[in-house]
A = this chain, B = another copy of it.
Amino acid sequence: MKTSVYIATSLDGFIARENGELDWLPGIDDNSDGKGEDFGYHEFMNSIDVLIMGRLTFETVRSFEQWPYGDKRVIVLSSQPLQIPNDLSDKVESTSCPPAELIQKLSEENCQHIYIDGGKTIQSFLNADLIQELIITRIPVLIGSGIPLFGPLDKDRKLRHILTRTFENGFVQSKYELIN
């Protein structure tokens, strides 16, 4: 089983503005029809069984015009019970399960590839050494402040650089594996 992060950040390392806005991210809706360059997103999404995200990311994604994950299973981490809207109740569940337990449970359910999303969630999974792969797409813009991708760590984490792709619009996408 593998857990991956696939995320876009500003060049200064933010995944959203303080209020969750993604207005600095060009063409966020341009590829929703599957046409054009999608920076490997659909291939990645096709490879995963389940998404795990925090409540804030869930709320941001909920505010999009269209639910972007199709029928993919989504688990929202929340210390409080979460009201799941009716139209999502067949694919979204919430849990207050700690990261390691959740991963153990999903492994027993035979999940092969898990997508970890959202700043706080990624940070807690990194600190628990529960991430195997990072795919980071750098957007050529500095926004100065916002929600950071990375946060404090209890110790350094070394990575193995797997590959980097550049795109005509200036996006730079690097794939890393965590070295444990």
Contact = CB atoms under 8 A, between A and B. Distances in A.
A140 B153 contact: no
A180 to B, nearest CB: 13
A4 to B, nearest CB: 15
B172 A164 contact: yes
A105 interface: no
A150 B13 contact: yes
Contact of A141 (B12, B158, B171): B158
Interface residues of A, number: 35
B170 A141 contact: no
Interface in A156-180: 156-161, 163-164, 166, 170-172, 174, 176
A12 B151 CA distance: 8
B150 A160 contact: no
A42 B124 CA distance: 40
B172 A174 contact: yes
Contact of A153 (B142, B157, B163, B164): B142
A152 interface: yes
A159 B174 contact: no
Contacts of A158: 140-141
A150 B24 contact: no
A88 interface: no
Interface string A115-131: 00000000000100000
Interface string A136-151: 1010111111000111
Q: Which 3 pairs from chain A and chain B are nearest by CB? A: A144-B153, A161-B170, A12-B150
Given A12-B13, A140-B176, A145-B152, 13 more contacts: A11-B136, A11-B176, A140-B159, A140-B161, A142-B159, A143-B156, A144-B155, A161-B166, A161-B170, A161-B172, A164-B166, A164-B172, A172-B172
